[in-house]
A and B are shown apart, each in its own frame.
Chain A
Amino acid sequence: MNFREQLETLADIKHSFVEKLSETESKTLRTSKLEILQLNITRKCNLQCKHCHVSAGPDRQELMSKAKFESILELLDKADISTLDITGGAPEMNPHLEWFIRSASGKVERIIVRSNLVILKEEEFKKYIKIYSENKIEIVASLPHFTENLTDRMRGSGIFSTSIEVIKELNTEGYGKNGTGKVLNFVHNPVGAILPGDQNALETEFKKRLMDLYGIHFNNLFCITNMPLGRYLEYLKKSDNYEDYMDELICSFNPAAAESLMCKNTLNVSWDGKLYNCDFNQMLELEADFEKFSNITDFDPSYFEDKMISVGNHCFGCTAGSGSSCQGTIE
């Protein structure tokens, strides 16, 4: 489905997000202080996961250019941004990543790379284990479930066992262990047409099972709701789960979660430098409304605050239950 077809599908639900939002105290969503810069530096990936809202894969060619990265470094010098959140696709497949990490280190408090782990087993990319370690990069890795069967059903055959091998290597580097300053967080996305359960309960179970079975350490588990976008939206439609899934998202709308959404303090930048309020808006080509600024090359960070956030019915995915963000549950 292209972005127009996705928007048309999302329009076909009982209540609109705008309508629900208008019933809350704040009525609309507006940006606050800019704290997180999230970069989608490529849509190329060595995997083709069933839940991928980016619809990333080996055939995608989109890569952020060095010139765009240089603009971002300039922005980091003039803006008080605490966190750089690098995602893709597989970020490692952008040839400028190593240079960019080394250049950006020291300009922000925290650099996150969202890695699919298995790419770190490939000859060309295994160097990143050391690069991440040397630069104290926080690794956020997808691990939908602690069983091989469920993880492989979502991410592809053999992915779970390779992920375990890579996690063990990261643990040897000190990742996931208290006191090392090397953070390894996992992301749990439900394997199927369901919303995630209680994050604390799931984290306890993941830690117990992964330690008992594989001797693995990690820091936190982030539970992230599968967004009704990209391949996941296609799955919902094909499996006749779309209506029930959207109904559950709408019924679980939580005004408190809407007050703390990540789009308030995050600027999302696509591979070509375009500006969005979040990663999901990027996939639907709903650009952020910063009036005269539409690209990172000319963006003035002082202009970020108190601007209307672009929303759509997919936003129900972030406001359901305890809420969902790239850092897991909101509340």
Chain B
Amino acid sequence: MSDYFEKKDLVDFANIGEYAEEEGGKFFEYYGKSMSEGKLSKREKCLIALTIAVVQKCPYCIDAYTNESLKLGITKEEMMEAIHVGASMQAGIVLAHSTQMRKIIKKKEM
């Protein structure tokens, strides 16, 4: 297991188009466009990316977007506030799925 998620592998992200260059190229074009400044600022997009990275538990993305957030002058309090949005969304999603459970309970219960 020690070979999984090594910090040095983060730099290999640039090579993920290997063996499928056309698709890889199109991905990077899409990635670059969607992360660049638009109606949302770079700062806002960075906080969205950081939150998704933590929610999805991707160590590479957490490393990349924590550093990018620091570089953009985002404070640790702002980062943690964003993570709580992710955490409450996750909790809400879990609780919302209990609707299925409650519907079944209500149908089956005497």
Q: Which residues of A contact B (CB under 8 A)?
A: 145-147, 149-150, 188, 190, 192, 194-198, 200-202, 204-206, 251
Interface hits, B25-50 → A, CB 8 Å: 37, 41-43
Main secondary structure of the interface of B (DSSP, over half): helix
Contact A197:B73 (CB < 8 A) given known A204-B41, A205-B43: yes
Tell me how far the C-beta of A293 lies from the nearest C-beta in chain B, rounded to whole angstroms: 40
Q: Which residues of B contact A (CB under 8 A)?
A: 11, 37, 41-43, 67-68, 70-73, 75
- What 3 A-B pairs come out closest when comparing CB atoms? A197-B71, A197-B72, A201-B42
Whether the Cβ atoms of B71 and A195 lie closer than 8 Å is yes
Whether the Cβ atoms of B37 and A201 lie closer than 8 Å is yes
Q: Closest residue of chain B to A149, judged by CB?
A: B75
Contacting residues, chain B, for A194 (C-beta < 8 A): 67, 70-71
Contacting residues, chain A, for B75 (C-beta < 8 A): 147, 149-150
Contacting residues, chain B, for A149 (C-beta < 8 A): 75
A205's partner among B67, B68, B70, B73 (CB-CB below 8 A) is B73
Contacting residues, chain A, for B11 (C-beta < 8 A): 251
Whether the Cβ atoms of B70 and A192 lie closer than 8 Å is yes
Q: Closest residue of chain B to A145, judged by CB?
A: B73
For this complex, 14 residue pairs linking A to B, each with C-beta atoms less than 8 Å apart, are A149-B75, A150-B75, A192-B70, A194-B71, A197-B68, A197-B72, A197-B73, A198-B71, A201-B41, A201-B72, A202-B72, A205-B41, A206-B73, A251-B11
Whether the Cβ atoms of A201 and B70 lie closer than 8 Å is no
Contacting residues, chain A, for B42 (C-beta < 8 A): 197-198, 201
Q: Closest residue of chain B to A188, judged by CB?
A: B73
Q: Closest residue of chain B to A146, judged by CB?
A: B73
Q: Closest residue of chain A to B70, judged by CB?
A: A194
Q: Closest residue of chain A to B11, judged by CB?
A: A251
CA distance A251 to B7 in the complex (A): 14
CA distance A201 to B70 in the complex (A): 13
New contact pairs (4) apart from A188-B73, A197-B68, CB-CB < 8 Å: A197-B73, A201-B42, A205-B72, A205-B73
CA distance A146 to B73 in the complex (A): 8
B43's partner among A190, A196, A201 (CB-CB below 8 A) is A201
CA distance A197 to B68 in the complex (A): 7
Contacting residues, chain B, for A205 (C-beta < 8 A): 41, 43, 72-73
Whether the Cβ atoms of B71 and A190 lie closer than 8 Å is yes
Q: Closest residue of chain B to A251, judged by CB?
A: B11
CA distance A200 to B42 in the complex (A): 10
Contacting residues, chain A, for B73 (C-beta < 8 A): 145-146, 188, 197, 202, 205-206
